[in-house]
């Protein structure tokens, strides 16, 4: 008996699979035949995709939200399409209404993937330029700076003299050198400027991270 099998993917845990799962459910695909994973499409070896490849049979239908869910690399994507079509599996995409088993479908898939790779390259280039610009303005330091509320809570705990340094650091997710940096900044009157600068950096880092995740 031919089966409907679904494969869904997002780049990481910060993204949501609900939309893909809803569409699979609308098409009558059981939970047992739905394979989901949180992994970048640039990674060739993906456990759930490998599982799908191992269980599909001639006449089965593979449901995906978009051809990009299978992969971002043109070479890997075309190899996957060829793998499934050679096994007699029909690929059904919610976004693109294309029969990928035909020469025309394969050509369209290749063009789409080339465009996606080009767009991703441009995005990474713009991100790199943005980071360079932000660093030049002192707004980029790599990781996301501490939340303002954590900084102020840590200082209040320090002032109370009721808590150890290690406990303060653990409670506010910071290291001892970081805590002392804020204490020293307060002592020399630069704390508010430091917090303002870090708030700007947090916004810049989060924005760049969102842009990076979009094209993973």
Residue 149 appears among annotated catalytic residues: no
Strand partners for 90:
61
Whether 190 contacts 162, CB under 8 Å: no
Q: Output phi, psi for 4, to 5 deg.
A: -100, 125
Q: Which pair of structure tokens corresponds to residue 145?
A: 């700076």
The SS3 assignment for 186 reads helix
Q: Which of 11, 40, 54, 128 is catalytic?
A: 11
* Angstrom distances, CA of residue 187 to CA of 75, 155, 183: 58, 11, 6
Round to whole Å and give the CA distance between 41 and 50: 13
Q: How many CA atoms lie within 13 A of 78 on its CB side?
A: 14
Q: Which residues are catalytic?
A: 11
């Amino acid at each position: 008996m031919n089966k409907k099998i679904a494969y869904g993917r997002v780049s990481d845990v910060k993204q949501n699979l609900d939309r893909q799962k809803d569409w699979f459910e609308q098409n009558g695909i059981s939970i047992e035949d739905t394979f989901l994973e949180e992994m970048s499409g640039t990674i060739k070896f993906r456990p759930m995709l490998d599982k799908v490849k191992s269980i599909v049979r001639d006449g089965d239908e593979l449901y995906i939200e978009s051809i990009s869910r299978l992969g971002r690399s043109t070479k890997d994507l075309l190899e996957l399409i060829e793998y499934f079509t050679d096994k007699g599996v029909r690929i059904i995409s919610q976004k693109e209404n294309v029969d990928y088993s035909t020469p025309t479908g394969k050509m369209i898939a290749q063009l789409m993937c080339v465009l996606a790779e080009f767009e991703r390259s441009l995005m990474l280039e713009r991100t790199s330029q943005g980071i360079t610009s932000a660093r030049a303005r002192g707004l980029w330091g790599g990781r996301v700076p501490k939340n303002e509320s954590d900084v102020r809570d840590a200082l209040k705990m320090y002032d109370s003299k009721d808590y150890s340094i290690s406990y303060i650091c653990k409670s506010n997710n910071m290291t001892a050198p970081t805590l002392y940096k804020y204490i020293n900044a307060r002592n020399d009157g630069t704390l508010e400027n430091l917090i303002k600068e870090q708030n700007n950096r947090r916004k810049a880092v989060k924005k760049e991270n969102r842009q990076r995740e979009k094209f993973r």
